[in-house]
């Protein structure tokens, strides 16, 4: 019986951690890579921007700028749609991932 509780506790701990930690790399792959590839280039739809080499702070500032409309170029409406559904935690995780490219 003790073993069962130990296993249950482990499963619960992992489950809770997984639910709170945002996977920036995974998010990037599913939501951003289509346009921004591996960060070293972008497709036409991605506006040709290069994300690689920019710091996490810079990226976070730009993403938040797209959220509140204070940042962006000719295609900012498109990026605003991309970030509109992201939480602050997701933006931080994405920025940290891009900053590490």
What residues make contact with ligand HEC under the rule CB under 6 A? 31-32, 34-36, 45-47, 49, 51, 59, 62-63, 72-76, 78-79, 82, 94
Cβ closer to ligand HEC: 15 or 73?
Answer: 73
CB 98 within 8 A of CB 39: yes
Cβ closer to ligand HEC: 6 or 50?
Answer: 50
Rounded least distance, CB 47 to ligand HEC, Å: 3
Rounded least distance, CB 86 to ligand HEC, Å: 6
Rounded least distance, CB 22 to ligand HEC, Å: 12
CA 93 to chain centre: 5
How far from 84 is each of 18, 31, 47, 52, 63, CA to CA, in Å? 23, 12, 18, 22, 10
Cβ closer to ligand HEC: 9 or 43?
Answer: 43
CB 91 within 8 A of CB 63: yes
Structure tokens at 68: 């509140």
């Amino acid at each position: 019986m003790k073993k069962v509780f130990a296993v249950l506790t482990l499963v619960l701990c992992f489950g809770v951690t997984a639910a709170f930690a945002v996977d920036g790399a995974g998010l990037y792959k599913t939501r951003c890579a289509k346009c921004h590839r591996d960060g070293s280039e972008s497709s036409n739809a991605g506006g040709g921007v290069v994300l690689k080499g920019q710091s996490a702070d810079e990226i976070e500032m730009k993403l938040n700028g797209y959220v509140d409309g204070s940042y962006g170029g000719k295609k900012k409406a498109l990026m605003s749609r991309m970030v509109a559904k992201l939480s602050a935690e997701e933006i931080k995780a994405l920025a940290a991932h891009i900053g590490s490219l």
